[in-house]
Structure 1
């Protein structure tokens, strides 16, 4: 049985609001095994995109070596009633659009992109939390478990409790959308200048604060009740429920880009404490009520790795599993599992997921070499005799390395195949990468990657069994090792650890081991290979683009070492400039003013930038074939710098002429 699961929307509007049907993904499940899984953002380069996952579907089919006709059914990650209700709301709000429903739109998109005529009875909609639950339990390797789904919302629920076992998923309790802990967290982070998709940033800020400062305000938002229940303060219509308590306190909301103050840190600490109190209230009750010793925790809230660490330390369970894609991308996999069950192939227990390397690879060795050498006018390319040893030497010498190898990871965290790596010891590496590569706030922590042999020496993994290979749990760094691991130990003495086994990622394990032999510390700083403007890199082109527009010292792609020949601004002339499918240009004129130009990316909350007349004209002339020099003629230093800045923010792509 071969089923395809997808998440995402139907491309009805370019600017479809970013929180609606986000995390577009495709997953291919064959006889219960997850064989390919990749998010659409890796292809269209839009973070947490909600566009139809055409690129991800194509990658699934190509990597599995199958065609549309080989797929038995398609599973969608929300129930049909909710999908059509949302579309009905869209029809009412935009009466110029034709009236279309979920099945029809899915058939249209498959026909448009793949010439695929899929019968309506092979398109199967799945309740959102059921999809989440099956995704997690199916990969846990457990025979039975308490399964807790906790996110912003499903159809009409925000948390659902299941008991899984014997091929069944039995629902015990659901909590309404009004009880949503995911929505509470998302609503609240606007007070400190963040929005949708930034929850992890506030989690990282929380350890700097004192939760007692605003404990009274946060406690006014909820009341704990018996039996794992709780009440939330009813919101006013269309008013964020967290606003009143902090408005009355006189808390001034931080705006994006403003300095982070102690008040903002204290707010983050109070919010994190509130999430932990409420989540643990629910989990404690259901652990005791069911007597379950194993937990599968999933949904967007399960990416709060600080909460996950607390679950481990609580001792409520003997074993905890958190899927590496617990957000809505993982629900696409669950939809594929449910679709197979409806066709008569219910899920049977398979081995635990040990590797998230489920996306496309970088190509054959010859393809990788050709792709790299096409840039030889800009970079030096060297095939290493032993790339692991050479990279370990570079890291031990203080280099920051972009590392691309094998199949990309499924989920929001790079786990050693699309990573930026550095020595985990000097605290300066944390500050350097935050400022010069990620261009993000200095309080943001980085994760340590460690070998299993050394894990307990450096980290307290607790007595609860868990898979630490997916960066899902924040644990305490052993007190006598915190100074040694300056770049990855957070302010509260914790770290979001990744334990790298040879079975999960042999090359990455070899690299950490060799680094340990050179330095005495088998721990590397590991963060996702991207900058602040893009998702994690997928292809050789993506890796080169990120390398050339950051201050990463060396790029390692499979067996090749890549070094830039000079500054990016000097490399522009012979590159072909291509506008992205979502790139738009516009000009604005007001009486008495000069005409001003702007470039923007046409999706919800897409970035924009003012551009000079020279650069506006250059972008307007871009045809995907002409080099920058041909478009511009003479390039001044000012124009070069402006183009590099726009390239860094991914308003267009650059590549060597074919």
Structure 2
């Protein structure tokens, strides 16, 4: 049986194909359209999934959309009426899209896919819960979903058992931990629904001096993790901004203007809302554990991408194990909807092993063969050197050890927001200079942003205070004390971004200012080539870890095709590009021209 899951029309549209219960393919629409967080119907992603499965839409048994549009429309109408006439402008902006598309989703799906079969609509948080539990290695577990908002639900928890999930409790809009975090994202000058991870990265530069203000004025947090927001400080129900003048007065002035210099206030605000978020997650987790008695917990929803909170939950929480959906946001809703249809709607059995998960490293996107890549290079007149698959890891390791920055385009593209060694930019974790070089010359992003380490799974405990696998870069842990370099008295007096350039460990490029790291453990079973690169790096340098950041520049999605990769390589100051078994050196390339048709000139047929 063939089931296609779809998410769309909010942000991060995606599609996922499940065949006889197996996740065959998944991808975000942005990777094909090159529009970051693309919310339109995932036409390209769905086409890819069908092709990967060797089927057409006529072969589909069920299409599952990740939420209930009519319930969401009901929430929007009730909210607008409750705040009328204040929400008139927001209402008039939202209605055309609803009247043109969102209220007619069955017709849209049939037209876009050329499909006339069964369509189901799980609830938004059912899709999140399904994406958390069904791919996990647990036959039975509690689950927790946290995001901005679905139809009405913003937080839910329950229990998954075999092929069933049951939501036992929920918190409803407008009270939302995700929207609280997004309010601070907006207020500190970053873009909502894409800049939240910047708040997490900025937090260690500040002091949590506003925690009491947040808990006293903005959120009424109970011991069991339930909460309510004081809506007098927020504007997202009726306006086009997240916060209002009362919020600004509470924190000493107006929101930071985007792209303006960061001040200590923004760093302290980030530290404060991060600490509050962690407290909400911890209290909720303790309550779930007490209510269910389960030893394992599964997480999904946008807030589950907060790897600092996840790391704290794993270290200090009541659960023995946790599993986090790598595409925890709305994109993962497509995967969850498909698995919900297979297990819960169709009643198909599920047997988890307690060890192996169903997501296979989340390498679920397109792959390009050696012949395809070679044709692309030759047709484009691109100079390259052919390396054998055994030689490639050794050569790239030598380049990285010489402080070269290398684009790494190998195997299937990752599903989710993290690059995991399929579409990555790599550097030497031992270098004190590589973070600044990669941020300013490659990624073109804020200098304070930390980079994550990829590390051999079997060697992770030698570098980090982490006793469990972290294949999806969703856990933060400390760098081991014996690798740390203590700060001098003078360095301890530094404030804010001044802390950035202090060398804190023997792997400074991946050590954040609080001696933490967002870790990806690399496993031979799921990515043997990337694992071989790390082994080659260890043999050459004695260091089994690399800087791994996503293969894109600021404001663009992760690259999908060889054409995307080559364009990104040429538009940045990357030194080399490993494209399949072929190595490209920047100094050998022809001059790059930013033509409007570059994607068609460098695209595969």
TM-score range, shorter chain: 0.7 to 0.9
- Give the conservation status (yes or no) of the 8 Å contact 1:210–1:266: yes
SS at match of 2:383: strand
- Give the conservation status (yes or no) of the 8 Å contact 1:84–1:101: no
**Distance across 2 between alignment mates of 1:552 and 1:110:** 44
Match of 1:26 among 4, 15, 26: 15
**What are the within-5 Å matches in structure 2 for residues 208-227 of structure 1?**
208-213=205-210, 215-227=212-224
Partner of 1:357: 363
CA gap of 1:447–1:134, structure 2 versus 1, over 3 A, is same
- 1:439 aligned onto 2:444: yes
- Give the conservation status (yes or no) of the 8 Å contact 2:66–2:334: yes
CA gap of 1:97–1:144, structure 2 versus 1, over 3 A, is closer
| Cα deviation, residue 531, structure 1 | 0.7
| Cα deviation, residue 246, structure 1 | 4.0
- Give the conservation status (yes or no) of the 8 Å contact 1:157–1:174: yes
Match of 1:254 among 253, 256, 260: 256
| Cα deviation, residue 167, structure 1 | 2.5
Q: Deviations over 1:427-463 (max 9, x none)?
A: 210010000001111110000011122110100015x
Partner of 2:188: 192
**Distance across 1 between alignment mates of 2:456 and 2:27:** 26
- Cα RMSD of the aligned pairs, angstroms, is 2.6
| Cα deviation, residue 564, structure 1 | 3.1
- 1:72 aligned onto 2:61: yes
CA gap of 1:551–1:106, structure 2 versus 1, over 3 A, is farther
Match of 2:120 among 115, 124, 129: 124
More displaced 10-residue stretch of structure 1: 513-522 or 309-318: 309-318
**Distance across 1 between alignment mates of 2:383 and 2:215:** 55
| Cα deviation, residue 530, structure 1 | 0.4
**Distance across 2 between alignment mates of 1:477 and 1:515:** 19
CA gap of 1:2–1:109, structure 2 versus 1, over 3 A, is closer
**Distance across 2 between alignment mates of 1:95 and 1:167:** 38
Partner of 1:558: 580
CA gap of 1:475–1:91, structure 2 versus 1, over 3 A, is closer
- Give the conservation status (yes or no) of the 8 Å contact 1:77–1:332: yes
Aligned length, in residue pairs: 562
Q: Deviations over 1:11-45 (max 9, x none)?
A: xxxxxxxxxx2110000011222110100000001
Q: Which has the larger radius of gyration?
A: 1
**What are the within-5 Å matches in structure 2 for residues 29-428 of structure 1?**
29-82=18-71, 85=74, 104-111=104-111, 113-114=112-113, 116-119=114-117, 122-196=118-192, 197-213=194-210, 215-235=212-232, 238=238, 240=242, 244-341=246-343, 344-350=346-352, 351-352=356-357, 353-362=359-368, 364-376=369-381, 379-385=382-388, 386-428=391-433
**Distance across 2 between alignment mates of 1:343 and 1:301:** 27
SS at match of 1:164: strand
**Distance across 2 between alignment mates of 1:193 and 1:305:** 22
**Distance across 1 between alignment mates of 2:516 and 2:449:** 13
SS at match of 1:141: coil
Partner of 2:456: 451
Higher relative contact order (CA 8 A, sep 6+): 2
CA gap of 1:567–1:559, structure 2 versus 1, over 3 A, is closer
- Give the conservation status (yes or no) of the 8 Å contact 1:217–1:245: no
CA gap of 1:455–1:565, structure 2 versus 1, over 3 A, is closer
| Cα deviation, residue 253, structure 1 | 2.4
- 1:6 aligned onto 2:6: yes
- Give the conservation status (yes or no) of the 8 Å contact 1:293–1:318: yes
SS at match of 1:330: helix
Q: Which runs of 5+ in 1 are unaligned?
A: 10-20, 579-646
Partner of 1:643: none
